[in-house]
Structure 1
Amino acid sequence: MKDIFQNPGTTYGQLFVVIGAALISFSPVFVVLSGVSATTSAFYRMALSLPALLLLVILYKAKLWQGRRQFGIALLCSMAYTLDLSCWHQSILLIGPGLATILGNFQVFVLAFYSIIVFHTKVTARIILAIPVSIIGLFLICGHGIEGGTDGFFIGTILALSTAIWYGSYVILLRSLQVTFDLSGKISTLCMISILTTIITGVIVILTGNSFTVPGIDSWMYLTGYAVICQVVAWVLISVGLPFTTPIKVGLILLLQPAGAFIWDILIFRLPFTSVTLAGVFLTLGAIYLGSTSDSSPIPQVRTDE
Structure 2
Amino acid sequence: MSVKNQQMSIAGFSPPADGTGRWGPVLLVLGGAGCLSASAVLVKVAAVDPATSAFLRCAIAVLVLAPLAWRECQRAGQLSRRGIVVAVVAGAALGADYMMWTRSIFDVGAGAATVLINVQVLVLPLLGLVIDRERPTRRFVLACPVMILGIVLISGVLEKGNTAPHAVLGTVFGVMAGVAYALYLYLTRQQARAEPGHTVAPLAVATASAAATSVALSPLSSGIHLASISPPSWLAMIGLAVLGQVFAWILVNSGSPHLPANQTAALLLTQPVAAVLLSLIVLAEVPSALEVSGIALVLLAVAVANRVWRSRNKT
Query: TM-score per shorter chain, which class?
Result: 0.7 to 0.9
Percent identity between the aligned chains? Answer: 27
1:110 offset after TM fit, Å? 0.5
1:122 offset after TM fit, Å? 4.7
Change (3 A) 1:219 1:85: same
Match of 1:127 in 2: 140
1:227 offset after TM fit, Å? 1.0
Pairing 1:262–2:276 present? yes
Query: What TM-score, normalized to structure 2?
Result: 0.84
Deviations 1:26-65 (A, max 9, x none): 0011111112112111111111112221221233325896
1:264 offset after TM fit, Å? 1.2
Tell me if the contact between 2:276 and 2:287 (Cα under 8 Å) persists in the aligned partners. no
Query: Where does 1:151-190 land on structure 2 (aligned, <5 Å)?
Result: 151-183=165-197, 185-190=198-203
Match of 1:53 in 2: 65
1:176 offset after TM fit, Å? 1.4
Q: Distance in 2 between matches of 1:293 and 1:160?
A: 30
1:199 to 203, 212, 216: 212
For structure 1, which segment, 77-86 or 215-224, has the greater mean C-alpha deviation from structure 2 after superposition?
A: 215-224
Change (3 A) 1:42 1:287: same
Match of 1:299 in 2: none
1:283 offset after TM fit, Å? 0.8
Query: Where does 1:1-80 land on structure 2 (aligned, <5 Å)?
Result: 3=6, 5=8, 8=15, 9-10=19-20, 11=22, 12-60=24-72, 61=74, 66-80=79-93
Change (3 A) 1:131 1:225: same
Query: What TM-score, normalized to structure 1?
Result: 0.87
1:95 to 82, 102, 108: 108
Tell me if the contact between 1:126 and 1:294 (Cα under 8 Å) persists in the aligned partners. no
Q: Distance in 2 between matches of 1:64 and 1:225?
A: 30
1:151 offset after TM fit, Å? 4.3
Q: Distance in 2 between matches of 1:255 and 1:162?
A: 18
For structure 1, which segment, 270-279 or 143-152, has the greater mean C-alpha deviation from structure 2 after superposition?
A: 143-152
Gaps of 5+ in 1: 296-306
Pairing 1:274–2:277 present? no
1:206 offset after TM fit, Å? 7.2
1:235 offset after TM fit, Å? 0.7
Deviations 1:128-171 (A, max 9, x none): 22211111111111134754264432222122111221111111
Q: Distance in 2 between matches of 1:64 and 1:90?
A: 39
1:25 offset after TM fit, Å? 0.5
Q: Distance in 1 between matches of 2:161 and 2:177?
A: 18
Match of 1:303 in 2: none
Q: Distance in 1 between matches of 2:75 and 2:239?
A: 24
Q: Distance in 2 between matches of 1:201 and 1:50?
A: 14
**3-state SS, counterpart of residue 49 of structure 1:** helix
